[in-house]
Amino acid sequence: MEFDQSWRSIPVRVYYEDTDAQGVVYFANYLRFMERGRTEWLRAHGVQQSELMQNLNLCFGLQDTNIKFIEPARFDDSLIVQTRVTDARGARIKFEQCVRRHSDDGELLASADCVAACLTADAYRPTRLPQNLFSLPSD
């Protein structure tokens, strides 16, 4: 399956609700930021997940995540979540993701490798990715 391996970036602002008592982003919220990144990568490549579910009875479920925390993000930080697909075959899509501080140096805060499985939406059983699932980016 052919797909675009370039990075897709989205901005994320750290809100008070994202932080712990010390004003540091709670570790689980990096997963939320990365979920947004994966969703926007799919959207940029012509995959609307709601339409996928309604029209093809398909959805994605995260199967595996390996995340490395490097530096903390803090309340009111401006972040960039970068996402790209490194492999897509069978029923799996492999994503590489980075969360960086939105600054001149783009300090790396966290990185992850994630594997999402293509599933039937009604029974949550693995199924092959549709052959021409990804289109070229629209921008």
pLDDT band at 136; cut points 50, 70, 90: very low
Rounded distance, CA 120 to CA 81, Å?
28
Question: Does the annotation count 18 as an active-site position?
Answer: no
Give the active site residue among 18, 20, 76, 104.
20
Rounded distance, CA 33 to CA 31, Å?
5
| Per-residue pLDDT at 135 | 57
pTM of the model: 0.90
The answer, yes or no, to whether residue 32 has pLDDT greater than 70, is yes
Angle, CA of 7, 118 and 136, to the nearest 5°: 35
Convert the pLDDT of each residue in 79-112 to its tens digit. 999 999 999 999 999 999 999 999 888 999 999 9
